[in-house]
């Protein structure tokens, strides 16, 4: 559909006005252009029958009638041409978006570069009155000025008081802090997002350290489990097996065309909670909120999608409030045909430069999808690549405390799924880059253990394909404690999803042969963490270099306060996404992930280390994201993967200028 702005500027609109349509010089009765055109023809026909007997008068009348008929026919041809243009406008717009890779027009006034410019609150027409108050893109609540209230018919629809956006933020934070249950805060935040988009992001940006655990882990896990009960309004697109053969039509139902980032899940492995089916939608919604708040990607350019192929969760299938397909999960050919259609439809409607982030797919699909589409689409798997990038940054940062380089350390993972193997591979790549040794040689410093014990060469034939690279020569070991005692790792990383797997005996063993043992307990949510921060510090007598996947409160041990770092993917993926967008990259390369890790590691300071954290504070995340975006974009240009030319001279400043800002705009 044409936007109001496009329609107003089109040739059809000017003809419509000349023909007597609203806003033109006609009679103002609201007739449309086609009716006015018919009226011209009718008058011309009437003129032809008003002939008088005198030949001279008849000749003059006939000439006049002929001229009017010719003029009317010319206008009719012009009208038909304009109508044809209007009918094809949407198709042409889609082609332009595909060619531009998501588009760059800032039609909502979302970027920092347009922050001071007044905007017109367009919807399908200029939003005003009650409609404007119900439009989350443009609603400002009590912050509408007196002038705006007059211009947009808001008198009487709002109380007379005018308040600032900062005061609105203060009031909502006060209200949120009254809730004792985290899920209540989550629901309140989602309601705000649906009511006043800019205020939601202003609130999140200004209070990111307090609200990040509300809109994402750990609270989002509970939200997904209860998504059917708390569901109010759709916040993304649902593509189900029922839509097979019609996926392109489903995508066209989304109101925005300039999409730059898609986060998609099939809900099979939500955090450490398992198969939540359609209710996994909370994950794409939460991730994209962070793309905007932390990375500055426009909310109008973000699209959350859930692929619903059923669920094997019996509790959900029997839940009367479940909102997804009530059937067992589709697999094999049926599943892959739907994914193939989906990926093709995305590329057709949004172009090849839209970033597709796979999120919380089960291992058997996650690796296959990433391998299959990484050569034909701009794809990224946050569980495999994003987690790996932020953990590598944490390791690079921890070296400033424990000393040495990556190649001098020994790594042991508990957990050999998407996260574990993804982290291990990126560590090996970084070691290879630093030492110029083959990747196969670098993998030998890294050991993985799964539910059956240490992954060793004697198990190779029974291993899944993505685990085989990590099967090294060693006698079989069945317990984590025995693996720690045998290998004597300097770094212990947990990605198992098994709570309390790092027992006191395991951590004390790590501390027995390491002055500063590096212990990363990365599983989410908090209840699935391999150990708590308090346990890691207490069992190592305060010597651990600790990081976790979920947030932990500061720990006081031996009169010293430790502030544990959180290896949160939100350090990486927002900046990575912004870098991809501003460079117009057509693929995500592993060197771009390494660049993001190195940039993040550089932001940790001695002040952070003194408090026990190897990551910089989240309060600086927007600046960090801009730096990461600049590094990623620079690597994209270096690798020849960037298409947005010419390359900006200062990528950091360019990234900052492209970042979404949530401050209210002034309306004309």
Binding-site residues for (S)-malate, in ranges, read 269, 524, 568
Residue pair 398/614 in contact (Cβ under 8 Å)? The answer is: yes
Binding site members for a divalent metal cation: 359-360, 383
Q: Which two tokens stand for residue 133?
A: 């108050």
- Residues 140, 287, 347, 635: which is the catalytic one? 287
- Residues 216, 227, 238, 667: which is the catalytic one? 216
Residue pair 179/185 in contact (Cβ under 8 Å)? The answer is: yes
Q: What is the dihedral of CA 153, 154, 160, 163, to 10 degrees?
A: -120
List, in order, residues 6 or more apart from 207 with CB less than 8 Å away.
169, 173
Three-state secondary structure call for residue 178? coil
Count CB-CB contacts under 10 A for residue 4: 15
Residue pair 306/236 in contact (Cβ under 8 Å)? The answer is: yes
Between CA 587 and CA 41, with CA 89 as vertex, the angle to 5 degrees is 175
Residues 475 and 447: their CA atoms lie apart, in Å, by 13
Backbone angles phi, psi at 107, to 5 degrees: -75, -20
Which of 245, 242, 230 lies closest to 281 in space, CA to CA? Answer: 230
Active site residue 216: yes
Residue pair 244/338 in contact (Cβ under 8 Å)? The answer is: yes
Q: Is 426 exposed, middle or buried (0-12, 13-18, 19+ CB in 10 A)?
A: buried
Which of 500, 501, 507 lies closest to 540 in space, CA to CA? Answer: 507
Residues 214 and 470: their CA atoms lie apart, in Å, by 37
Burial letters 44-58, b for 16+ CB under 10 A, else e: beebeeeeeeeeeee
Which of 196, 47, 184 lies closest to 134 in space, CA to CA? Answer: 196
List, in order, residues 6 or more apart from 96 with CB less than 8 Å away.
103
Three-state secondary structure call for residue 320? coil
Count CB-CB contacts under 10 A for residue 101: 23
Residues 628 and 552: their CA atoms lie apart, in Å, by 25
Residue pair 78/36 in contact (Cβ under 8 Å)? The answer is: no
List, in order, residues 6 or more apart from 1 with CB less than 8 Å away.
90, 124
Q: Is 170 exposed, middle or buried (0-12, 13-18, 19+ CB in 10 A)?
A: middle
Backbone angles phi, psi at 382, to 5 degrees: -70, -35
Q: Which two tokens stand for residue 270?
A: 């939500």
Binding site members: 269, 359-360, 383, 524, 568
> Which DSSP state fits 541?
T
Residue pair 206/169 in contact (Cβ under 8 Å)? The answer is: yes
Q: Which neighbouring-strand residues pair with 380?
A: 357
Between CA 425 and CA 432, with CA 428 as vertex, the angle to 5 degrees is 140
Distance of CA 225 to the CA centre of its chain: 21
Task: Determine the length of the chain.
Answer: 668
Instruction: Point out the residues that are catalytic.
Output: 216, 287
């Amino acid at each position: 559909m044409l936007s109001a702005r496009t329609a107003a500027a089109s040739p059809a609109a000017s003809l419509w006005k000349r023909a007597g349509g609203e806003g033109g010089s006609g009679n103002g009765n609201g007739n449309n252009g086609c009716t006015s055109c018919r009226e011209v023809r009718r008058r011309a026909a009437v003129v032809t029958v008003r002939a008088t007997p005198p030949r001279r008068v008849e000749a003059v009348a006939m000439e006049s009638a002929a001229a009017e008929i010719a003029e009317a026919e010319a206008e009719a041809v012009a009208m038909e041409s304009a109508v044809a243009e209007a009918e094809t406008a949407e198709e042409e717009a889609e082609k332009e978006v595909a060619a531009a890779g998501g588009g760059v027009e800032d039609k909502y006034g979302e970027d920092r570069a347009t922050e001071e410019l007044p905007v017109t609150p367009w919807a399908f027409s200029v939003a005003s009155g009650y409609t404007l108050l119900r439009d989350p893109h443009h609603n400002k609540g009590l912050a509408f000025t007196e002038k705006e209230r007059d211009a947009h018919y808001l008198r009487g629809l709002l109380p007379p008081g005018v308040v600032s956006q900062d005061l609105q933020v203060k009031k909502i934070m006060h209200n949120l802090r009254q809730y004792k249950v985290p899920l209540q805060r989550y629901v309140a935040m989602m309601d705000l997002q649906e009511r006043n988009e800019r205020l939601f992001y202003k609130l999140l940006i200004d209070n990111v350290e307090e609200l990040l655990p509300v809109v994402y882990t750990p609270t989002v896990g509970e939200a997904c489990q209860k998504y059917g009960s708390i569901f109010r309004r759709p916040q993304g697109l649902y593509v189900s097996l029922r839509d097979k053969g019609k996926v392109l039509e489903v995508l066209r139902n989304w109101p925005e065309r300039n999409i730059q980032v898609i986060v998609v899940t099939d809900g099979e492995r939500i955090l450490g909670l398992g198969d939540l089916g359609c209710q996994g939608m909370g994950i794409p919604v939460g991730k994209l909120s962070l793309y905007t708040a932390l990375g500055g990607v426009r909310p109008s350019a973000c699209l959350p999608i859930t692929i619903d192929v059923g669920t094997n969760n019996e509790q959900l299938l029997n839940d009367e409030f479940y909102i997804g397909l009530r059937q067992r999960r589709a697999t094999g050919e049926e599943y892959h045909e739907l994914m193939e259609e989906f990926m093709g439809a995305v590329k057709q409607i949004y172009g090849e430069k839209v970033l597709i982030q796979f999120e919380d797919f089960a291992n058997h699909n996650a690796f296959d999808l990433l391998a299959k589409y990484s050569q034909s689409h701009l794809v990224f798997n946050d569980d495999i690549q994003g987690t790996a990038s932020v953990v590598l940054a944490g390791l690079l940062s921890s070296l400033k405390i424990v000393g040495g380089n990556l190649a001098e350390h020994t790594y042991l993972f508990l957990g050999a799924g998407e996260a574990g193997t993804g982290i291990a591979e990126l560590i090996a790549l970084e070691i290879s880059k630093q030492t110029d040794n083959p990747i196969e040689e670098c993998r030998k410093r890294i050991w993985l253990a799964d539910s059956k014990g240490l992954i060793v060469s004697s198990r190779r034939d029974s291993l899944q394909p993505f685990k085989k690279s990590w099967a090294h020569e060693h006698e079989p070991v069945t317990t984590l404690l025995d693996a720690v005692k045998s290998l004597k790792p300097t770094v212990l990383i947990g990605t198992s999803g098994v709570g309390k797997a790092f027992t006191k005996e395991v951590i004390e063993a790590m501390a027995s042969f390491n002055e500063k043992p590096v212990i990363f307990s990365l599983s989410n949510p908090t209840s699935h963490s391999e150990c708590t921060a308090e346990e890691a510090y207490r069992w190592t007598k305060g010597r651990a270099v600790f990081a976790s996947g979920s947030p932990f409160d500061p720990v006081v041990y031996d009169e010293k306060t430790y502030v544990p770092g959180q290896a949160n993917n939100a350090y990486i993926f927002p900046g990575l996404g912004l870098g991809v967008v501003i460079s117009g990259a057509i693929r995500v390369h592993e060197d771009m992930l390494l660049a993001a890790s190195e940039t993040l590691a550089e932001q940790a300071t001695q002040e952070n280390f003194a408090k026990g954290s190897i990551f910089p504070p989240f309060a600086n995340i927007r600046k960090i994201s801009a730096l990461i975006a600049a590094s990623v974009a620079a690597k994209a240009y270096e690798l020849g993967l960037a298409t947005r030319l010419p390359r900006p001279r200062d990528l950091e400043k360019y990234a900052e200028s492209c970042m979404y800002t949530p401050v209210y705009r002034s309306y004309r």
